[in-house]
Amino acid sequence: MSFKLPKFPYLYKDFEPYIDRKTIDIHYNKHHAAYTNNLNKAISNTTMMNFSIEKILKRAHVESSIIRNNAGGFYNHNLFWEILIPHTEYIHPSTYFNKIIQENFSSFDFFIDNFSKVAANHFGSGWVWLCVKEKKLTICSTTNQDNPLMLCGIGCEGIPILGLDVWEHAYYLQYQNRRLDYISSFWNIVNWIKVEKNYKTAMKM
C-alpha cells in the first residue's frame, strides 16, 4: 500500500487574491507531491506500508528523520487543503461553532488575534494549529513538518482541526517577507464547515 496525493478540490485560481495560483500550483504539485513520494519511498518494504498515516505519525519520533518529515508533510498538507475554501464560497462559523470558540477563547476575534500572533511570532518554518486537547480547544505551533499527533514531547499535543502553513513556500512568491499579510489573508478562505466537522470528530475520540 502507498499513500496518494489527494486530488486538489478547486482550481488554483480560486483562492485569489488571497493566495495566488502560482503559489498554490507549486505548493501542491511540488512540495506536497514531494512529501508524498518521499514518504512512500521511505516506508517501502517496511511494516509501515500497512499503517495508517496517523499510526505512522504516532511513532515518527522513533523512526528516521526522513519518515518523520515526510509523514508530517503529507498529513499536514492534506489537512491544509481541506480547511481552505474559495473566498466566493466563504461563510462564517456556524452559531454552534462560534459558541464553542467563545467558550474557549472568550470571543471569535480574540481567537483570531491569538492564533495570528502565534503564527506571526513562530520562528522559521513550521505550522500553527487549532487542536482539540482534553475536549478543549488550544492553539500551538510546531517546527518543520511536525504536528500535534506526534508523540515526542514537542509541547503541542492534541487532535489538529485547523492548520496554517507558515513555511516560506506557502506565501513567499506573493507576499515575500510579509508574513503578517499572508496570515491576515488566510482568514478569508477558511472552510469553517470542515473545521467544525473536524472538531466534532475529534470530540468523539
Q: What is the pLDDT of residue 115?
A: 98
Given a cut of 70, whether residue 109 has pLDDT beyond it is yes
High-pLDDT (> 70) share of the chain, %? 100
| 1: confidence class by pLDDT, cuts 50, 70, 90 | low
User: CB–CB of 48/56 below 8 Å?
Assistant: yes
High-pLDDT (> 90) share of the chain, %? 93
Considering the chain, what is the average pLDDT of its residues?
A: 96
Residues in contact with 196: Cβ distance below 8 Å, sequence separation at least 6, in sequence order: 93, 94, 96, 97
The conformation of residue 45, written as its DSSP 8-state character, comes to T
User: CB–CB of 157/148 below 8 Å?
Assistant: yes
Q: What is the pLDDT of residue 66?
A: 95
Looking at residues 178-202, what average pLDDT do you find?
98
Task: Report the C-alpha dihedral over residues 138, 106, 167, 152, rounded to 10 degrees.
Answer: -10
Given a cut of 70, whether residue 180 has pLDDT beyond it is yes
β-sheet bridge partners, residue 160: 131
Q: What is the pLDDT of residue 87?
A: 95
129-163 pLDDT, tens digit each: 999 999 999 999 999 999 999 977 788 999 999 99
| 71: confidence class by pLDDT, cuts 50, 70, 90 | very high
The conformation of residue 169, written as its DSSP 8-state character, comes to G
Q: Which CATH number fits domain 20-205: 3.30.300.30, 3.20.140.10, 3.30.1490.20, 3.55.40.20?
A: 3.55.40.20
Given a cut of 90, whether residue 61 has pLDDT beyond it is no
Looking at residues 157-170, what average pLDDT do you find?
97
Looking at residues 32-57, what average pLDDT do you find?
95
| 60: confidence class by pLDDT, cuts 50, 70, 90 | confident
Q: Cα–Cα–Cα angle for 146, 130, 51, nearest 5°?
A: 45
Amino acid residing at 114: N
Residue 62 to residue 151: CA distance in whole angstroms: 9
Whole-model pTM above 0.85?
Answer: yes
